[in-house]
Amino acid sequence: MRVTVIDYKAGNLTSVLKALRHLGAETIVTDGDLALVEAAERIVLPGVGHFQATDRLDATSLTPAIRAAIARGVPFLGICVGMQWLYAGSSEAPAQPGLGHFSESTEKVPHVGWNSLEVRTGSRLLAGVEAGEYVYFTHSYKAPVTADTAATSYYIEPFAAAVERGNVMGVQFHPEKSGATGLKILSNFLAWKAGGAE
């Protein structure tokens, strides 16, 4: 299993790389080599930090390269800010557009800690995750619950803990820091193949 991990210089990648390698994946890191995105078998966009940092994806032309990869059916997983980037934008940096794959935007809600998931049936990313399993969150912005929401969590109000439509997936929590539950989710992503359930 080969995974291309996008480095946009926001926070550190060490934990995500470590977890992917632990699961047997070969990791390739790029901060702007478009050929590596064009050849990618699957893509992970990690992210901790400020939404504004995603402007680097535009500056390096990674945004159109990722858009093209998604259109080719390459499985894509955005983590935390990487998930928020899949939406139209964030009130954290109103002038900075996201990918717009999902049409909504993210709004402020500071939330740190372990919280439980309510998984919607049919999610391939979250297959095998039971209702009430806990994952680790640390974020200040959240996405609303919509038809594409794969799991919700509750903090002040329900929000999208995971989003999934076809080959495009995002998690607001940190699977690389969520113990056995998180590793199961990353493992599902690594096993994801076009054309239905495993």
Partner 1 sequence: MITKRIIACLDVHDGRVVKGVQFVDLIDAGDPATQAARHAREGADEIVLLDITATHEGRQTLLDTVRRTARELFVPFCVGGGIRTADDAAQVFDAGADKVSVNSAALKDPMLIDAIGRSFGAQAVVVAIDARRDPDAADPVRDAQVFVQGGRKPAGRRVVEWAREAEDRGAGEILLTSMNSDGMRTGFDCELTAAVSESVGIPVIASGGAGTVEHFVDVFGRGKADAALAASIFHFGVSSARSLKEELARAGVSVRLPC
Q: Which residues are catalytic?
A: 80, 174, 176
Q: Which residue of 2, 22, 108, 193 would you call a contact of partner 1, by CB under 8 A?
A: 22
Which helix (H) or strand (E) covers residue 58, if one does?
Answer: helix 55-59
What are 137's strand-pairing partners?
A: 113
Q: Which residue of 27, 60, 96, 115 would you call a contact of partner 1, by CB under 8 A?
A: 115
Q: Which residue of 1, 7, 15, 27 would you call a contact of partner 1, by CB under 8 A?
A: 15
Tokens of 80: 């935390």
Tokens of 146: 């919509």
Min CB(177)–partner 1 separation in Å = 5
Helix 179-191 to helix 14-22 angle (10° resolution) is 70
Q: Which residue of 67, 134, 158, 165 would you call a contact of partner 1, by CB under 8 A?
A: 134
State the residue for tokens 């239905």: 196
> Which residue lies nearer to partner 1 by CB, 65 or 117?
117
Residue 27 binding partner 1, by CB under 8 A = no
Min CB(12)–partner 1 separation in Å = 4
Residue 50 binding partner 1, by CB under 8 A = yes
Q: How many residues does the chain have?
A: 198
> Which residue lies nearer to partner 1 by CB, 40 or 45?
45
Q: Are 87 and 73 in contact (CB under 8 A)?
A: no
Residues 63-92 touching partner 1, rule: CB under 8 A, are none
Which of the stretches 85-93, 94-102, 138-146, 190-198 binds partner 1 when contact is defined by CB under 8 A? 138-146
Question: d(Cα 5, Cα 165) in Å, to the nearest integer?
Answer: 20
Q: Which residue of 32, 49, 100, 144 would you call a contact of partner 1, by CB under 8 A?
A: 49
Closest to 117 measured CA to CA, from 105, 102, 133, 96: 133
Question: d(Cα 161, Cα 145) in Å, to the nearest integer?
Answer: 9
State the residue for tokens 């495009």: 168
Residues 175-194 touching partner 1, rule: CB under 8 A, are 176-180, 182-183
Residue 39 binding partner 1, by CB under 8 A = no
